[in-house]
Amino acid sequence: MRIVLLGAPGSGKGTQAARLKAELGIAHISTGDLLRAAVKAGTPSGLRAKAVMEAGQLVSDEIVLAILEERLAQPDTHGGFILDGYPRNLAQADALDRLLKRIGQPLDAVLKLNVPDADILKRTEIRFKAEGRADDNPETVRRRLEVYAQQTAPVADYYAQRGLLGEVNGVGAIDEIAARLLAALDTRPATPA
């Protein structure tokens, strides 16, 4: 099964992707982790990304997609994968669809974790106090939520129009949310041809 997991920052994507990986026995792919690994490994795309990052710039969609393609060529993804938090905008969604079609691995499902902003702010504040993560600073989280609403939320509509989107309540105990995600996968109609 090939899945994209969407949700606002702090919605629990990483936690739930790990649960789905364990339950379904498929690869969990986080583009942030991929980028860091490609840089560390010195792959051609990783070297390009490193040069961009060292110049203080954002890594282009083209480079991220190249790194993702390198990852999808690895054998552990052939039985399926979960893309955690990617694509983040409509251009990335379109590029991802073209890549997956070209390599013969189209998406089976897109799951979106719905969590109210107030709950996200509470979650990240707790994590900020416990772990001190700079990206969990309340003001930073508010800015990230604004960017998500403008750029990433429309990606859900993109996949809904293709009959791939399932929305899941992301509030509650971790096990309850994981069960909801699995149920959403079980109740999805067959993948469109």
Q: Which of 21, 36, 88, 188 is catalytic?
A: 88
* 71 given a catalytic annotation: no
* 144 given a catalytic annotation: yes
Q: Which of 98, 122, 133, 142 is catalytic?
A: 133
> What is the three-class DSSP state of 165?
strand
Q: Tell me the whole-structure pTM to 2 decimals.
A: 0.86
* Residue 27 contacts residue 81 (beta carbons within 8 Å): yes
Which domain does 12 fall in, by range? 2-26+82-186
| Structure confidence by residue, pLDDT tens digits, 172-188 | 999 999 999 999 998 65
* Residue 124 contacts residue 145 (beta carbons within 8 Å): no
The single residue listed with the structure tokens 């899945």 is: 3
69 and 162, same domain (yes or no): no
Q: State yes or no: pLDDT of 189 exceeds 90.
A: no
* 102 given a catalytic annotation: no
* 129 given a catalytic annotation: no
129 and 53, same domain (yes or no): no
Question: Which two three-digit tokens encode residue 10?
Answer: 């702090």
| Structure confidence by residue, pLDDT tens digits, 20-69 | 999 999 999 998 788 888 888 998 888 888 887 777 676 788 888 988 99
Is residue 12 one of the residues assigned to a domain? yes
Question: Could you say which DSSP state residue 103 is in?
Answer: T
Is residue 193 one of the residues assigned to a domain? no
* 88 given a catalytic annotation: yes
